Amino acid sequence: MPLALKSWQKNRRCFGKILKITFDFISEETSCEFGSNKYYALCGFGGLLSCGITHTAVVPLDLVKCRIQVQPEKYGGIIKGFKVSIKEGGALELTKGWAPTLIGYSMQGICKFGFYEVFKIFYGNLLGEENCFLWRTSLYLISSASAEFFADIALCPMEACKVRIQTQAGWSTTLREGFPRILKEEGVNGFYKGLVPLWCRQIPYTMMKFACFERTVEALYKYVVPKPRVECNKAEQLAVTFTAGYIAGVFCAIVSHPADTIVSKLNQAKGSNFMDIAKDLGFMGMWKGLFPRIIMIGTLTALQWFIYDSVKVYFRLPRPPPPEMPESLKRKMGV
């Protein structure tokens, strides 16, 4: 091969690498500063989309799950639950509760993801760089718990409407009818009587969801993915996000299921309280409907993280890589 041709091919390859590095740099430019108001607002918007869309998409499965929890003798398992529900009201029966689900979980998503970012940065600044790394799991847990506390206050009124629409035969079938009915019959307290069990269900769920996800992503990049995250393209990064989300979702469903069953029964029975429902159900009764919930929550959590991370990619938000030990800590530990 002529020397000139070899030189041209070599220069072309070098130029191609320069172009790739240049375009990668451009694509990695962020649209806002990490921790800015715009960053928090767009994270909240990502949470709105991720929770609102996914929970609404699985309303049929959620309806059957709730009915199994409150009337296990009638609806049995997941297959029988679908058959009985369709037989009673047709295919449209499975869409009951979609409106309060969409509104309630959209509001919850804003608070869950938006406040998580707020609290993670706030608590992280209090801990300092070295302690942030050493205590990162605790940081994920306390940040997510703090965010979910407020997220459930936003969700609770719509959750009360949804459960009654889905489980009480003869009750109002739409949010437009159900919301004023609860307000008239029970007052504002009727919307929030399930708040404590909702906290008991959602806070452990969210703590597991965020902490398990964050540590699973870290482990996947460290032990499974054959290259660092900075060398992965966006599609590969989102695939890791989806996988870690599904793994986290399975654990979330198991941890939060007993409280979820109590919430369903509590909103069905007037004048009941948390302890009375727990005693009536018994230990085994609290685990009714676990299998459909594992399917639902596993899929939900994976899709939520996928949508949330996709929103961050689309709006070019800062996406820090998995945490690494600070240089100062390496020197102290002799690493």
- Tens of pLDDT, residues 126-181: 999 999 999 999 999 999 999 999 999 999 999 999 988 988 878 888 999 999 99
pLDDT of residue 252: 84
Q: What angle do CA 325, 205, 259 make, to 5 degrees?
A: 155
Please list, residue by residue across 40-71, b when 16 or more beta carbons sit within 10 angstroms of its beta carbon and e when fewer do. Answer: bebbbbbbbbbbbbbbbbbbbbbbbbbbbbbb
pLDDT of residue 317: 95
Helices first, then strands: H and E counts in the chain: 15, 0
**Please, what is the average pLDDT of the chain?**
85
Stretch among 243-252, 309-318, 321-330 having the lowest mean pLDDT: 321-330
Residue 22's pLDDT band (boundaries 50, 70, 90)? very low
pLDDT of residue 269: 59
Joined together, the tokens standing for residue 159 give 């959750």
Give the burial class of 226: count Cβ atoms within 10 A of its Cβ; 0-12 exposed, 13-18 middle, 19 or more buried. Answer: exposed
Task: Answer yes or no: is pLDDT of 272 > 90.
Answer: no
Give residue 88's Cα distance to chain centre: 32
Residue with tokens 């399975």: 250
Task: Answer yes or no: is pLDDT of 200 > 90.
Answer: no
* DSSP of 160-190: HHHHHHHHSTTS--SHHHHHHHHHHHH-THH
pLDDT of residue 106: 97
Give the burial class of 72: count Cβ atoms within 10 A of its Cβ; 0-12 exposed, 13-18 middle, 19 or more buried. Answer: middle
Residue-wise pLDDT tens digits, 62-94: 888 888 877 888 888 888 989 999 998 898 889
Reported pTM: 0.79
Higher pLDDT, 15 or 49: 49
Which class in CATH covers the domain with range 33-320?
A: mainly alpha
Residue-wise pLDDT tens digits, 209-227: 999 999 999 999 999 998 8
SS (H, E, C) the chain: CCHHHHHHHHHHHHHHHHHHHHHHHHHHCCCCCCCCHHHHHHHHHHHHHHHHHHHHHCHHHHHHHHHHHHCHHHHCCHHHHHHHHHHHHCHHHHHCCHHHHHHHHHHHHHHHHHHHHHHHHHHHHHHCHHHHHHCHHHHHHHHHHHHHHHHHHHHHHHHHHHHHHHHCCCCCCCHHHHHHHHHHHHCCHHHHCCHHHHHHHHHHHHHHHHHHHHHHHHHHHHHHCCCCHHHCCHHHHHHHHHHHHHHHHHHHHHHHHHHHHHHHHHHHCCCCCHHHHHHHHHHHHCCCCHHHHHHHHHHHHHHHHHHHHHHHHHCCCCCCCCCCCCHHHHHHHCC
Higher pLDDT, 245 or 267: 245
pLDDT above 90 covers a percentage of the chain that reads: 50
Higher pLDDT, 79 or 267: 79
